[in-house]
A = this chain, B = another copy of it.
Amino acid sequence: MTDKFSKIAKRMKSNIIRELLKVTGKPGMISFGGGVPDPETFPRHEMAEISREILENEYRYTLQYASTEGDPILKEEFIALLKRENGIEGLELDNLLITVGSQSALDLVSKIFLDEDSIYFVSKPVYLGAASTFSLRSRQYVYMNLTEDGVDLDELEQSLEEIKTRGDIGKVKFIYVISNFHNPGGVTISLAKRKRLVEIAEKYDVLIVEDDPYGDLRYDGEPIDSIFKIGGKDRVLLLKTFSKILSPGLRLGVVIGNHDVIRKMVMAKQAADLCTPSLTQRLAARYLQRHDIMAQIKPTIALYKEKKDLMLAELEKNFGDMEGFHWTRPDGGLFIWFTLPEGFNTDEMLEMGKSENILFVPGIAFSLDDTCKNSMRLSFCLPPKNDIVEGVRRLKKVIMEYGKERNLL
């Protein structure tokens, strides 16, 4: 039946990161690959007790179909959380939609906004989960290069001006950004750039899709107002998730935006998966009611900060004096973007890495045009500290071998 596949199905490629997850389990393997949090950091005892209780006492809700919009109790609690933690005010229930993780939120965004000829902006490197679902609807993406303080907004404005000049500005739907601790870049968009991004979006009447899965995992520096808070819900659609603060296993994403956009996303979700599981939604809702989720992740933040600082130190130790090697220094999140001199192909190096029992994600996984070949994404959250030291050592071995073979060093 494969000859019957649709055009987009023939275009679909398997997600390298998801595939990497499969070899992660190999004995002796050290993985800097997956952006998966450490399950030890999640409040399993509390969640176990709550889940037992809501299945016993709230089974009429937890075992039944939920509304497509999502659990009202969870939405109430999340509105309170956004107010308390992010100073976001004035949200009503119909400004929120609970999705099956942020991935399905991204899929709904692409469904309700993108036609085949629609234009959208993404960073380079780009989070592939977003790019993959956007590009199934339209391949008219425009890149903004990542910078130390976010994305290149001069580049953005110039592109928008060109598009306007050729009369296609109406086709531009949204600018997709990860505001904090970019995946894979690790960088954060500065306050000045957030404000300017909103101005640009208003000038050209474009929506901003702000993806913020990592914002609560800040290890250094001060929190910055979200683009959503700066631009407001009629200009910015905010994507949040429970995956990094409570558990990815629950698959709970939250979309916050203008109620007309949320309403349309609800209609799209009716056809996509009917509703998010009521059990996982109510579990998160009761957890938020009974526990201080931000206090709960403090030890996690402390742990990840140590691991992050350790990996940065090890990179410095091993590559600090090597010409053309540089990496980002994130203030939070899970990722460091490690760039090697031109000529290195991290995709080719992956097999060598596997045989040396060290995994990383090749830069090509974050590109829509097979670029970023000389970069890789390193995640520090999952491996124990001694594995971080040993892993960077193995990485160096692979890099030296490959570099010598190719006369790049």
Q: Which residues of A, 243-258, contact B by the 8 Å Cβ criterion?
A: 243, 247-251, 258
Pairwise interchain contact B260-A276, C-beta atoms closer than 8 A: no
Pairwise interchain contact B52-A268, C-beta atoms closer than 8 A: no
Pairwise interchain contact B6-A137, C-beta atoms closer than 8 A: yes
Tell yes or no: A200 within 8 A of B by CB: no
- Of all chain B residues, which has the CB nearest A281? B249
Tell yes or no: A51 within 8 A of B by CB: yes
Tell yes or no: A374 within 8 A of B by CB: no
Pairwise interchain contact A271-B107, C-beta atoms closer than 8 A: yes
**B residues less than 8 Å from A64 (CB atoms):** 36, 39, 247-249
**B residues less than 8 Å from A268 (CB atoms):** 9, 12
On A, residues with C-beta under 8 Å from B are 1-2, 4-9, 12-15, 18, 21-22, 34, 36, 39, 42, 44-45, 47-49, 51-53, 55-56, 59-68, 100-101, 103-104, 107, 111-115, 118, 129, 132-133, 136-137, 173-174, 207, 234, 243, 247-251, 258, 260-261, 264, 266-268, 270-280
Question: Quick one: copies of this chain in the complex?
Answer: 2
**B residues less than 8 Å from A234 (CB atoms):** 1
- Of all chain B residues, which has the CB nearest A277? B251
Alpha-carbon distance between A270 and B279 when the two chains are bound, in angstroms: 22
Pairwise interchain contact A9-B273, C-beta atoms closer than 8 A: no
Alpha-carbon distance between A100 and B100 when the two chains are bound, in angstroms: 8
- Of all chain B residues, which has the CB nearest A129? B274
Pairwise interchain contact A273-B248, C-beta atoms closer than 8 A: no
Pairwise interchain contact B9-A113, C-beta atoms closer than 8 A: yes
Pairwise interchain contact B280-A277, C-beta atoms closer than 8 A: yes
Pairwise interchain contact B51-A8, C-beta atoms closer than 8 A: no
Alpha-carbon distance between A272 and B18 when the two chains are bound, in angstroms: 13
- Of all chain B residues, which has the CB nearest A171? B4
Alpha-carbon distance between A42 and B59 when the two chains are bound, in angstroms: 9
Of the A-B pairs whose beta carbons lie under 8 Å apart in the complex, a sample of 17, sorted by A's number, is A5-B113, A5-B264, A9-B113, A15-B267, A15-B270, A18-B270, A42-B63, A44-B56, A48-B51, A49-B52, A51-B279, A64-B247, A100-B277, A103-B274, A129-B274, A132-B270, A136-B271
Alpha-carbon distance between A174 and B18 when the two chains are bound, in angstroms: 29
Pairwise interchain contact B55-A44, C-beta atoms closer than 8 A: yes
Pairwise interchain contact B21-A39, C-beta atoms closer than 8 A: no
Pairwise interchain contact A2-B52, C-beta atoms closer than 8 A: no
Alpha-carbon distance between A339 and B21 when the two chains are bound, in angstroms: 53
Complex partner residue of A21 from B65, B104, B118, CB under 8 angstroms? B65
**B residues less than 8 Å from A275 (CB atoms):** 101, 251
**B residues less than 8 Å from A112 (CB atoms):** 5-6, 9, 12
Complex partner residue of A273 from B45, B107, B173, CB under 8 angstroms? B107
Alpha-carbon distance between A390 and B248 when the two chains are bound, in angstroms: 46
**B residues less than 8 Å from A249 (CB atoms):** 61-66, 277-279
**B residues less than 8 Å from A111 (CB atoms):** 6, 8-9, 136
Pairwise interchain contact A267-B13, C-beta atoms closer than 8 A: yes
**B residues less than 8 Å from A280 (CB atoms):** 277, 279-280
**B residues less than 8 Å from A272 (CB atoms):** 103-104, 107, 133, 272
Pairwise interchain contact B264-A12, C-beta atoms closer than 8 A: yes
Alpha-carbon distance between A280 and B137 when the two chains are bound, in angstroms: 30
Alpha-carbon distance between A6 and B63 when the two chains are bound, in angstroms: 34
- Of all chain B residues, which has the CB nearest A253? B273
- Of all chain B residues, which has the CB nearest A133? B271
**B residues less than 8 Å from A65 (CB atoms):** 21, 34, 36, 243, 248-249
Pairwise interchain contact B47-A55, C-beta atoms closer than 8 A: yes
Alpha-carbon distance between A13 and B261 when the two chains are bound, in angstroms: 14
Alpha-carbon distance between A132 and B274 when the two chains are bound, in angstroms: 11
Pairwise interchain contact B67-A18, C-beta atoms closer than 8 A: yes
Pairwise interchain contact B12-A39, C-beta atoms closer than 8 A: no
- Of all chain B residues, which has the CB nearest A2? B260
Given contacts A47-B63, A48-B56, A103-B273, 14 further A-B contacts (CB under 8 A): A9-B111, A9-B267, A12-B268, A15-B267, A36-B64, A48-B55, A62-B249, A65-B249, A100-B100, A101-B273, A103-B272, A129-B271, A133-B272, A251-B276
